[in-house]
């Protein structure tokens, strides 16, 4: 027989009552982008997870092998490991990713939050969503590598395109964490249905 104190029981109950929030970084970045956000979200009722998607941050998966399925499967595995439905936050391009994840696990997703993110209909992909967009420094300075395998942003315009609202010195400190984004996930056409989160 195991005897637990009331303090331990309260702690166990608190763990069960916590809402898990999964913060999904934008293209080119990594889980590191959420550092200050996580500090502000520290609360006894929240469990915050900010993974590096495959090929981003500390993940060193060879880029040639990465597709949208890798991003989606990674997030599905995180959700499946949670007992209760989670809140998914997608930033920028990864609004498309969280839409697909919710389609595959509608009962495991409590809420979707699109943070300046792509909220697009079924069949839309990144390139079709940005085609013809004007007035965006990111879109204006975006280009593909010669072999069309990577999406890049002009170095000179990167601060204004990615982070015009933070001081230049903060951006310079973070710049070496920015990775080239693979074109394959950007070419993924979203698959969602009206029955689920579509």
Q: Residue 192 falls within a domain, yes or no? A: no
What is residue 3's predicted lDDT score, i.e. its pLDDT? 52
Q: Residue 2 falls within a domain, yes or no? A: no
Q: Residue 30 falls within a domain, yes or no? A: yes
| pLDDT tens for each residue of 92-132 | 999 999 999 999 999 999 999 999 999 999 999 998 898 88
pTM, entire model:
0.86
> Is the separation of the CB atoms in 24 and 94 below 8 Å?
yes
Which CATH number fits the domain that encloses residue 122? 3.40.50.1820
Q: Residue 1 falls within a domain, yes or no? A: no
Residue 174 buriedness (CB in 10 A; 0-12 / 13-18 / 19+)? middle
What is residue 13's predicted lDDT score, i.e. its pLDDT? 54
Q: Residue 142 falls within a domain, yes or no? A: yes
Q: Give catalytic residue positions.
A: 92
What is residue 4's predicted lDDT score, i.e. its pLDDT? 43
| pLDDT tens for each residue of 58-79 | 888 877 778 999 999 999 999 9
Q: How many CA atoms lie within 13 A of 162 on its CB side?
A: 25
Q: Residue 196 falls within a domain, yes or no? A: no
What is residue 2's predicted lDDT score, i.e. its pLDDT? 46
Domain holding 182, by residue range, is 11-186
Domain count, the chain: 1
Q: Residue 69 falls within a domain, yes or no? A: yes
> Is the separation of the CB atoms in 123 and 96 below 8 Å?
no
Q: Residue 151 falls within a domain, yes or no? A: yes
More confident residue, 62 or 184: 184
């Amino acid at each position: 027989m195991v005897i637990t104190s009331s303090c331990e029981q309260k702690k166990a109950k608190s763990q069960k009552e916590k809402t898990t929030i999964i913060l999904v970084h934008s293209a080119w970045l990594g889980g590191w982008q959420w550092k200050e956000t996580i500090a502000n979200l520290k609360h006894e009722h929240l469990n915050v997870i900010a993974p590096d998607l495959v090929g981003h941050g500390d993940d060193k998966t060879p880029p040639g092998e990465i597709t949208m399925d890798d991003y989606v499967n990674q997030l599905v595995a995180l959700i499946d490991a949670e007992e209760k439905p989670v809140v998914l936050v997608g930033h920028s391009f990864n609004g498309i990713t969280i839409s697909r994840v919710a389609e595959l696990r509608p009962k495991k997703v409590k809420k979707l939050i699109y943070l300046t993110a792509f909220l697009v209909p079924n069949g839309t992909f990144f390139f079709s969503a940005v085609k013809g967009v004007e007035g965006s420094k990111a879109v204006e300075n975006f280009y593909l590598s010669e072999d069309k395998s990577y999406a890049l942003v002009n170095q000179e315009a990167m601060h204004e395109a990615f982070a015009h609202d933070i001081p230049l010195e903060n951006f310079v400190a973070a710049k070496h964490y920015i990775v080239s984004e693979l074109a394959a996930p950007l070419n993924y056409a979203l698959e969602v249905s009206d029955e689920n989160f579509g």
